Structure 1
Amino acid sequence: MRQVPVAARLALAGLITAVALAVALWPRGGDDTSVDGAQIHPSAPVPEQLRAAAGLAPCPRPAADAVGHGPLAGITLSCLADGKPVDVAAALAGKPALLNLWAYWCGPCAEELPYLQEYAQRAGNAITVLTVHSDPDEARGLALLADLKVTLPGVLDASTRVRNAVGVPAVLPVSVLLRADGSVAKAIVRPFDGVEDIADTVANELGVAA
C-alpha cells in the first residue's frame, strides 16, 4: 500500500479541523429559545423557570362526574401552566367557552391575546377562555406569553388536533365559541380588533354578556 506523503496528511488534518470549527461556530438561525442564558430546543423538556416566568393560570379541570361531548371529546392536551394532561372537552363541560387558537410566530395573535385577557377578566366566571398554542414549540409559546404578560390558561396542541376536530381552516388566529354542551356555536376565522369586538361576538353567539 502506498503511504500518503506527510505534507498531504498534514493538509488533510488541517482541512478537517477547519471544517469542524466552522460547524461548531455556524449560526443556528434562531431555531433555539434562550432562557437565562440556556439554549432551549423545541424538542427539549421545558424548564420549570420558563413556566414560572410565564405565570399562567391553571387549566380548567373536569368535575368528578364530567363527561366531554362535542367535537373535542376524547382530546387530551398538555397544560402550558404545569405540563399535566387535560381532557379538553370534559374540562370545559357545563359552561360556554372561547378557545383561541394561536402560535408564537403569528403577529395578529400577539396583538389579540391581550384583548382576550382583558375580556376574560370582564366576563369572570360566565365563560371559560382557553388559549390553544397550535405549534409544537412550547418554549417559544411560553416566552411570548411572558413577554405579553398574558396569563390566561392554555394548552399545547402540537399536532393541531383542536383545529382538525372543529374543521376550521389552517390559518391563525381562530377563535372557537363552544356552547355548554360542547357543541360549536361559531368559529371566528379572523383576529378580534378589541375587547368590545370579543364581547359583542360572544354575546351574539353564546348569549354571554360581559
Structure 2
Amino acid sequence: MVTIPDAVAGCEAFAADGVTTGGADGLPALRLPCLTGGEDVALADLGGRPALVNLWASWCGPCREEMPLLQAAHDRYGDRVGFLGVNTEDTRPAAVSLLTDLGVTYAQVVDEDKALMTALAVPGLPVTLAVAADGRVVDRQVGEVSAERLEELTSRLAADAGVP
C-alpha cells in the first residue's frame, strides 16, 4: 500500500454536477481513480468550475520541471480555478514520491493506461489543458509550460469564470 501525503488534496472538488457537458470540445467520457482514494473523477464533468488539467509522469523530465510552476499557480488561483493532475502511465509509488518531494498539494487522478493521452492524440507529456466551467477545452499546451504561458492559461480561466 502506498501512503499518500495528507497535503495532497482529494478529488471532491471535481465531483460531477450533471451540468457540464463540453460536447465535442470537451474532455472524453473517461472516469479516472483519485490518487487519494474516494470517488472516481468523470473528466467530461469536472463539477461546473473552470479547471487546469495537467497530464504528467514521474519519469518525465519536463513534467518535473513545470510542477513547481503548477503548484505556485494553484497557490495563487486555486480558490477560483480547479487544478487536477493526471498521473499518466506511471506507478503510484513513483507519483507519490515526486508529489511529496515537490510539495504538490492539488488533486491528482491516475491514468495508468494513458487513456486520456491517447484520446487527446498528443505525442507525449506533459500536456496542460484549460477547461472552461462548461466543460470545453479552451486552450492546450503540449510540452513543458512556461511561467508566462501558465499565467495566461490560469488568468484566462479565472476571467472566464467572472473572477479576476
TM class by shorter chain equals 0.7 to 0.9
Q: Greater share of helix residues, 1 or 2?
A: 1
Q: What do residues 38-82 of structure 1 show as CA deviations (whole Å, max 9, x unaligned)?
A: xxxxxxxx33xx21x36311112425x424423435311110122
Residue correspondence of structure 1 range 196-207 to structure 2 within 5 A: 196-204=148-156, 207=159
User: Does the CA-based 8 Å contact 1:67-1:89 persist in structure 2?
Assistant: no
CA offset at residue 205 of structure 1?
A: 6.9
Give the equivalent residue in structure 2 for 1:88. Answer: 43
* TM-score of the pair, normalised by structure 2: 0.83
Distance 2:35 2:125 in 1: 19
Which residue identity lines up with residue 133 of structure 1 in the other structure? N
Q: What do residues 88-119 of structure 1 show as CA deviations (whole Å, max 9, x unaligned)?
A: 332x1321111001001011111111111111
Bigger Rg, structure 1 or 2: 1
User: Does the CA-based 8 Å contact 1:178-1:184 persist in structure 2?
Assistant: yes
* TM-score of the pair, normalised by structure 1: 0.66
In the alignment, which of 50, 65, 87 is matched to residue 111 of structure 1? Answer: 65
Distance 1:58 1:143 in 2: 17
Matched, 1:132 2:91: no
CA offset at residue 149 of structure 1?
A: 1.2
Which residue identity lines up with residue 104 of structure 1 in the other structure? S
Q: What do residues 147-192 of structure 1 show as CA deviations (whole Å, max 9, x unaligned)?
A: 1111111100112222233x24221111011111111111101212
Give the equivalent residue in structure 1 for 2:32. Answer: 77
> Across the two proteins, how many residue pairs are aligned to each other?
158
Give the equivalent residue in structure 2 for 1:187. Answer: 140
Gaps of 5+ in 2: none
Gaps of 5+ in 1: 1-45
User: Does the CA-based 8 Å contact 1:186-1:205 persist in structure 2?
Assistant: no
Q: What is the RMSD of the two structures over their aligned residues, measured on CA atoms?
A: 2.3
State percent identity of aligned pairs.
Answer: 34
CA offset at residue 122 of structure 1?
A: 0.8
